[in-house]
Amino acid sequence: MSSLVAEMSSKALKLNIPLSVQLDLTYRCNERCIHCYLDHDDHGEMTTAEIKGLLDQMAEAGVFYLTISGGEILMRRDFFELLEYARARTFSVKLKTNGVLIREKEAARIRSLGVEYVQVSIYSHRPEVHDAITKMPGSLEQSIRGMRLLRQHGIHVIMANVLMRQNALDYSGVKALAAELGAQFMLDPTVTPMMDGDRSILNLNVDEAALREVFQNEALVGNVEEFCAPPLGPDEEALSALPCSAGHTACYVSPYGDVYPCVQFPMPCGNVRRTKFVDIWRHSPQLNEVRSITLGDMPSCSKCVHGGSCTRCPGLAYLEGDMRGPSYQDCEKSFARTGVPSENLKARKASGSRAHIQLIQIQGLQPASRPLMSEVSENASLSA
């Protein structure tokens, strides 16, 4: 993170401002990806007017970064009306799409509306692999066509590659495809549970050997020695540190108006159809509980040697039954990265259980009723 972005985040944290929001416009989708964490039926999406009202409220609350995602965003007929409305309220907008429905007209319109970047999900450079994951014949070809059009209009495109057993060998090919298209490549090695708590899709996650190979790939992680260095254990500063931005400077809003700390942290905190966005942000007991947790409050992680360097996701921990507990998937990643087992993995090994994980039934998914100026540039890469 650049120093100016870090400074802004720190200031937002101090002022209790939701700097970043992901807003899913719909869960409907034209693809049926095998690893998707969503249910694709429409349970009563917010109307155009409701979303515009929410955008007004979010601008007033200080939201700067707005990620518009889904489902497939272009399944909403009012997508461009909403995007134009958001840009007129000067959000920095990022779009997530599968790119299938992007033609010349859509690419030109996205360009004219000045979005920061468009992220397109690509699972393989081989149609037989990608299309088998999306369950949509021809989808790779159509997504690539969409990305080419976006690039021709000079739009920053990120090619996001979720790693799973089905495409474990293909990330180098996807990276080469991204380079050919002039897109940025981003690899995500984690398949997450479904929003309703169903964990069956976790068996799509790659095994430890494949994870280790990714973490040892210099082209992906940079300095391998540094990236895979043995952990030093949390120091005093780490123990008082906040786990991540979820609920602190960021949150997620579903197509039904439900507010969660993050898209991967499905703990209902309120609904914008019943309560003003800013009131949920400031006064939700759930968000305030999330905000109160530091590493020092986590019984297992605070004693773990990975405590200061782990990518622990509080949302995944919540889905495992305890948001103050470890996230088994992140324990596995820390082990694959360094070869050093976490406290949680050691305890599981000692008790002989691999993963006695509690199923959490998620509620709230039903329809709700200085000098003047300084500067920096931003970048992103591996999401580990």
Contact residues: another protein, CB under 8 A: 2, 4-5, 8, 11-12, 15, 17, 19, 59, 62-64, 84, 87-88, 90-93, 112-117, 156, 370-378
Tell me which residue has tokens 């088994």.
Answer: 328
Whether 293 contacts 324, CB under 8 Å:
yes
14: alpha, beta or left? (left if phi > 0; alpha if psi -120 to 50):
alpha
Residue closer to another protein, measured from CB, 55 or 221: 55
Which lies closer to another protein via its Cβ, residue 359 or residue 376?
376
Cβ distance to another protein smaller for residue 352 or 371: 371
CB closer to another protein out of 17 and 162: 17
Task: Kindly tell me which of 90 and 152 has the beta carbon lying closer to another protein.
Answer: 90
CB of 243 to another protein, least distance (A): 23
**Min CB(61)–another protein separation in Å:** 10
Q: What are the backbone angles phi and psi of residue 64, rounded to the nearest 5°?
A: -110, -50
CB of 248 to another protein, least distance (A): 15
**Sheet of 157-162: strands edge to edge?**
184-188, 157-162, 117-121, 92-97, 65-69, 20-24, 250-253, 258-260, 270-271
Torsion of CA 359, 321, 189, 304, to 10 degrees: -150
As a whole number of angstroms, the distance between CA 168 and CA 367 comes to 37
Nearest-approach distance from CB 115 to another protein, in angstroms? 7
Residue 306 near residue 295, CB atoms below 8 Å = no
Q: In terms of CB distance, is 13 or 238 closer to another protein?
A: 13
Residue nearer to another protein on the CB measure, 58 or 287: 58
Contact 318, 357 (CB under 8 A): no
Compute the least distance from the CB of residue 383 to another protein, in Å: 18
For residue 381, the minimal CB distance to another protein (Å) is 15
Least gap, CB of 378 to another protein (angstroms): 6
Report the SS3 class of residue 120: strand
For residues 231 and 212, is the Cβ–Cβ distance under 8 A?
no
| End-to-end CA gap in the chain | 15
